[in-house]
């Protein structure tokens, strides 16, 4: 697997959309400060492919994919594997309850020559190529087929995550053995053993089933076949004998059928002729028709008389005049009398209102005169008040002077201030003015009240006069309408005559309806009697038509009773003649049936000799017996052939069961798997030892013994030490050697179709000294120079980063992390 392009948005620290192009980065480094997001790039690659990241702890940490406060995270990886190019996409969303779920996951096989830069043009997922997987469940199988590695092997051979670098070096032998089994795909041999056991069980089950079928085919020997063949011959002879006897039986049965048919036809004719009888009451049918017609004529005459009386009364009522007009005229007399009384009452109201109005006008005139007088007295009081004020001005100044002070008017010294006189004219003038104002306001109120009363009486008078004028107008109209009309007494007499005539007309109409109903019933009785007569003739005609083949006599169409009497007499004579012929026909039937019974008994004897019951259809029964015998013979032949095939199958199932059991037994001991693991571990340790020797400057070799790893220290006389005694830097060197060797050797040793086209190391290179770091860098350069895989490292060590041609610098601010490509 070789990554080509990585797109992230909302993924952990990469809140903003970020794209990393690995197209020509055969040897690259992800550099940047601690915590900037370098390892997150490797997390995104793992997540796009497998839906999880090693440091998340499985799919339960799916919420870690979302950037803080983000509701969606998208990761898209374009990669090459086995010469094909794929694009893997995963989208995680947070729902309304805060739970993170995979909203979309897919893997597509891109067409040959697809330009990766076109991904920036907003292509829809449908434009990226053939859909290989469209759901998270489908992604697991599809990614395994495309990459060739499950998640555990991928994170041990392609992307080596931080913190797990030395796991393989320090693992227990059993754990390391299981890792190698998973990495090398040696579990396939356990699957082979399981499948061999399953196939052995299946073959043994089939063998048991075949034995049961063979047990059911024990009766297919030669003696049984000979017996069945003899039965076929006997049934063939029976069929030939039956076929020879059947024509005689058919002839006897035909004769019996003809004689029986003739006797049955004679009996049928006798039954038909014997059933000819005149129906009861046929003579009264014609008389009933005559009586009903007479009653109908009488009812029709009664209706005519009632209609004549009704028409006469209707004419008298029309001559008496229109009742509505008469009633309107009489109502006009009543209205005139009522309006006359009301007019007299309103005239009196007008006179009373006129007198009250005149009194109110006089009172208003007097009130206005009194108001004018009060207004004049108020003006005089105002004038007196002004004069009193002028006269009392000097007295008003004295109130402010003292003896020896200057006068404010003449500025002379006043030796003695005169006394102020009692009873000022101003006070008297003010009191008079107030009294005059009260009198004036009272006079104005009186004028207003008198004016309001006069106006109200004026409106009452106008209304009374208007009503009086209206009543006089309506009386004039009524007098005009009643001019030349009859008197009220004459109108009442005419209306009484109208009532008498209308009552008589109602009685006449009732009589007409009753007569018409009686006539309708009479006509119904006529129709019923005539229908009974027609029914009698139809029955006669039906009976005579049923006797047409016998040649019945002609019928008298004027008398149905006589016609029935003639027909019944003729039928009795014809029946008597046929009774004399019946004895001879009955004897012929008995003779023919006896002959048929003799032949039937002979055929039954043929079947009894063959051990078969007597059938209703001998020919069919004989044919069926032959077919059954032949079918039994064919079935026996088929069963013999089936038994031969089953014996052949039994031999094959027995052979398959033996082979599968032997294979399962060989693989059950795990010797083959242990041998393969030992060989794989030898190759792995040999390759890792060479790399470690180079990294350690020739100091260490790596060896294993009984599943444990050791280093041989050449600087200490070849002392063999456990790997757990190594320092941190030495442990890193040993772990890196194993990782590189495992990555190099896995493609040749694995039974899977893994495509190891890249390796990315995420580990602390800062623990190495300068010389070891130089050796590690040289080792990585040599690995990249081979050109068979992409090599990437995650580091913040400048000395190592400067020796790598392509660098992706990762930085982070308060919002999002960013990636910028530098170097060549």
- Kindly tell me if the per-residue pLDDT of 164 is higher than 60: no
Can you say how many angstroms the Cα of residue 235 is from the centroid of all Cα atoms in its chain? Answer: 69
Residue 418 DSSP class: P
Residue 756: pLDDT band with limits 50, 70, 90: low
d(CA 266, CA 242): 35
CB within 8 A of 124, min separation 6: which ones?
none
- Compare 164 and 150 and report the one with higher pLDDT: 150
Q: Quote the tokens at residue 65.
A: 């994919």
Strands (E), 526-673: none
Residue 753: pLDDT band with limits 50, 70, 90: very low
Residue 123 is predicted with a pLDDT of 58
pLDDT per residue as tens digits for the range 109-127: 988 877 776 676 565 666 6
Residue 64 · residue 53 · CB < 8 Å: yes
Residue 397 DSSP class: H
pLDDT per residue as tens digits for the range 689-740: 988 888 788 889 999 887 788 999 998 888 998 888 887 667 777 887 887 7
pLDDT, average across residues 652-664: 81
- Compare 90 and 574 and report the one with higher pLDDT: 90
Cross-strand pairs, 662: none
Least confident stretch, 112-121, 378-387, 649-658, 742-751? 742-751
**Which range, 328-342, 352-366, 622-636, has the best average confidence (pLDDT)?**
352-366
Closest CA to 22 of 758, 781, 785: 758
Cross-strand pairs, 505: none
**Which range, 7-16, 283-292, 488-497, 601-610, has the best average confidence (pLDDT)?**
7-16
pLDDT, average across residues 423-438: 74
Residue 616 DSSP class: S
Q: Provide the mean pLDDT of the chain.
A: 78
Q: Quote the tokens at residue 73.
A: 């995270």
pLDDT per residue as tens digits for the range 307-349: 777 787 777 767 666 666 666 666 766 666 677 776 777 778 7
CB within 8 A of 499, min separation 6: which ones?
none
Q: Quote the tokens at residue 515.
A: 């007569």
d(CA 755, CA 361): 131
- Burial (CB count within 10 angstroms: exposed 0-12, middle 13-18, buried 19+), residue 118: exposed
- Kindly tell me if the per-residue pLDDT of 752 is higher than 90: no
CB within 8 A of 90, min separation 6: which ones?
47, 48, 51, 74, 75, 102, 104, 105, 139
- Kindly tell me if the per-residue pLDDT of 647 is higher than 70: yes
pLDDT, average across residues 358-364: 79
147-151 CB contacts, 8 Å cutoff, 24+ apart: 147/1, 147/49, 147/81, 147/754, 147/755, 148/1, 148/81, 148/82, 148/752, 148/753, 148/754, 148/755, 149/1, 149/752, 149/754, 150/182, 151/46, 151/49, 151/50, 151/52
């Amino acid at each position: 697997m070789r990554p080509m392009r990585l797109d992230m948005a909302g993924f952990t620290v990469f809140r903003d959309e970020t794209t990393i192009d690995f197209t020509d980065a055969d040897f690259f480094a992800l550099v940047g400060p601690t915590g900037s997001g370098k390892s997150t790039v490797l997390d995104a690659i793992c997540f796009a492919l497998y839906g999880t990241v090693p440091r998340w702890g499985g799919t339960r940490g799916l919420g870690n994919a979302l950037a803080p406060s983000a509701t969606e995270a998208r990761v898209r990886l374009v990669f090459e594997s086995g010469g094909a190019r794929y694009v893997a996409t995963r989208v995680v969303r947070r729902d309304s309850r805060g739970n993170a779920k995979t909203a979309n996951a897919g893997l597509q096989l891109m067409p040959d020559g697809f330009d990766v830069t076109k991904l920036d043009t907003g292509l829809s997922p449908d434009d990226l190529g053939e859909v290989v997987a469209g759901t998270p469940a489908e992604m697991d199988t599809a990614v395994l087929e495309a990459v060739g590695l499950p998640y555990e092997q991928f994170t041990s051979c392609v992307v080596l995550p931080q913190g797990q670098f030395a796991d393989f070096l320090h693992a227990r032998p059993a754990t390391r053995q299981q890792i190698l089994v998973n990495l090398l795909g040696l579990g396939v041999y356990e699957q082979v053993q399981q499948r061999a056991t399953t196939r052995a069980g299946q073959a043994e089950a089939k063998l048991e089933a075949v034995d049961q079928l063979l047990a059911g085919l024990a009766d297919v020997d030669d003696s049984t076949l000979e017996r069945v063949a003899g039965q076929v011959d006997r049934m063939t002879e029976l069929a030939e004998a039956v076929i020879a006897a059947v024509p005689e039986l058919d002839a006897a049965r035909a004769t019996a059928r003809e004689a029986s048919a003739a006797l049955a036809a004679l009996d049928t004719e006798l039954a038909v002729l014997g059933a000819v009888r005149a129906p009861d009451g046929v003579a009264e049918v014609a008389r009933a028709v005559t009586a009903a017609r007479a009653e109908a004529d009488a009812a029709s005459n009664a209706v005519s008389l009632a209609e004549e009386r009704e028409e006469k009364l209707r004419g008298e009522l029309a001559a008496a005049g229109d009742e509505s007009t008469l009633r309107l005229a009489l109502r006009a007399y009543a209205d005139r009398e009522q309006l006359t009384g009301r007019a007299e009452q309103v005239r009196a109201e007008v006179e009373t209102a006129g007198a009250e109005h005149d009194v109110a006008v006089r009172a208003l005139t007097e009130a206005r005169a009194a108001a004018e007088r009060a207004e004049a007295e108020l003006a005089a009081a105002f004038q007196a008040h002004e004069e009193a004020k002028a006269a009392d001005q000097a007295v008003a100044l004295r109130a402010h002077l003292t003896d020896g002070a200057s006068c404010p008017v003449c500025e002379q010294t006043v030796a003695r201030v005169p006394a102020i006189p009692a009873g000022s004219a101003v006070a008297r003038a003010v009191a008079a003015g107030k009294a005059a104002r009260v009198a004036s306001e009272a006079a104005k109120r009186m004028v207003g009240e008198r004016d309001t009363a006069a106006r109200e009486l004026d409106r009452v008078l106008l209304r009374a006069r208007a009503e009086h004028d209206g009543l006089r107008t309506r009386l004039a109209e009524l007098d005009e309408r009643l001019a030349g009309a009859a008197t009220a007494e004459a109108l009442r007499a005419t209306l009484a005559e109208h009532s008498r005539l209308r009552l008589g007309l109602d009685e006449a109409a009732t009589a007409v309806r009753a007569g018409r109903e009686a006539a309708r019933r009479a006509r119904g009785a006529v129709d019923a009697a005539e229908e009974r007569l027609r029914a009698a003739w139809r029955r006669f005609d039906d009976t005579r038509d049923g006797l047409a083949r016998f040649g019945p006599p002609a019928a008298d169409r004027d008398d149905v009773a006589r016609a029935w009497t003639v027909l019944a007499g003729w039928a009795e004579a014809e029946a008597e003649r046929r009774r004399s012929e019946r004895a001879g026909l009955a004897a012929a039937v008995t003779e023919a049936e006896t002959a048929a019974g003799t032949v039937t008994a002979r055929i039954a004897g043929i079947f009894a000799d063959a051990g078969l019951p007597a059938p209703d259809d001998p020919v069919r029964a004989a044919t069926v017996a032959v077919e059954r015998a032949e079918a039994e013979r064919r079935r026996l032949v088929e069963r013999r052939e089936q038994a031969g095939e089953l014996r052949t199958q039994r031999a094959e199932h027995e052979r398959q069961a033996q082979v599968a059991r032997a294979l399962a037994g060989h693989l059950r001991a795990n010797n083959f798997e242990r041998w393969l693991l030992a060989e794989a571990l030898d190759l792995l340790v040999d390759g890792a030892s060479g790399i470690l020797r180079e990294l350690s400057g020739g100091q260490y070799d790596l060896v294993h013994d009984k599943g444990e790893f050791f280093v041989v220290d050449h600087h200490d006389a070849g002392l063999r030490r456990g790997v757990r005694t190594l320092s941190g830097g030495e442990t890193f060197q040993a772990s890196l050697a194993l990782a590189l060797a495992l990555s190099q050797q896995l493609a040749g040793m694995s039974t899977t179709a893994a495509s190891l086209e890249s390796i990315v190391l995420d580990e602390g290179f800062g623990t190495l000294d300068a010389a070891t770091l130089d050796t590690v860098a040289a080792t990585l350069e040599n690995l990249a120079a081979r050109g068979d895989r992409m090599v990437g490292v995650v580091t913040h060590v400048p000395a190592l980063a400067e020796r790598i041609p392509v660098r992706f610098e990762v930085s982070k601010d308060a919002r999002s992390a960013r990636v910028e490509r530098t170097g060549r």
